């Protein structure tokens, strides 16, 4: 038996976009100390980035902590809420969904941001990019 995806009405998609927009505003207003440190490092490195960017398709949306559009990279700053098994499964699903869109994900733990220097973040970004480019070869 063939299964069909539920088709959303235009109003449903607009409502989802509105929900995501409100969530982004809330996250930008309630920035964590670790996100603040990464934000400062990215500014020092002069990377073009968007803080708390929402990504959509008809079925799914996510909000990324930092998106670097020039290199199609998301940087996620992970706190203790990311340690659980169910959260790790959600993150794996997100990573697969983003990979289909050609977007790489770099995860940084909160504790790692405490003494992080701009050159260390830059190295991690470059390693993430080269690792993903080597997988394509």
Question: Given phi > 0 = left and psi -120 to 50 = alpha, else beta, which region is 43?
Answer: alpha
Q: For residues 7 and 77, give the distance between their C-alpha atoms in angstroms, rounded to a whole number.
A: 33
pLDDT tens, residue by residue, 77-125? 987 655 667 777 888 888 888 888 899 999 998 888 888 898 988 998 8
Structural domain count of the chain: 1
Residue 105: inside a domain, yes or no? yes
pLDDT in tens, 15-30: 777 777 777 777 767 7
For residue 129, what are the domain limits? 10-136
Q: By the 8 A CB rule, do 54 and 61 touch?
A: yes
Task: Say which CATH number the domain at 60 has.
Answer: 3.40.960.10
Q: Is residue 60 part of a domain?
A: yes
In a domain, 51, yes or no: yes
Question: What distance in Å separates the CA atoms of residue 59 and residue 63, rounded to the nearest whole number?
Answer: 14
In a domain, 78, yes or no: yes
What are the two backbone dihedrals, phi and then psi, of residue 16, each rounded to the nearest 5 degrees?
A: -65, -40
What's the pTM? 0.76
pLDDT tens for 30-77 read: 788 889 999 999 998 888 999 988 887 766 778 889 999 999 999 999
């Amino acid at each position: 038996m063939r299964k069909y995806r539920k088709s959303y009405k235009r109003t449903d998609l607009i409502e989802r976009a509105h929900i995501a927009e409100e969530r982004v505003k809330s996250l930008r207003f309630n920035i964590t100390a670790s996100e603040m440190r990464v934000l400062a490092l990215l500014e020092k490195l002069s990377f073009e980035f968007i803080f708390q960017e929402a990504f959509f398709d008809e079925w799914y949306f996510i909000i990324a902590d930092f998106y670097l559009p020039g290199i199609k990279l998301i940087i996620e700053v992970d706190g203790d809420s990311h340690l659980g098994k169910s959260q790790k499964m959600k993150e794996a699903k997100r990573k697969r969904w983003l990979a289909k869109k050609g977007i790489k994900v770099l995860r940084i733990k909160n504790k790692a941001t405490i003494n992080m220097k701009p050159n260390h973040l830059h190295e991690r970004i470059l390693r993430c990019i080269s690792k993903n480019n080597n997988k394509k070869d």
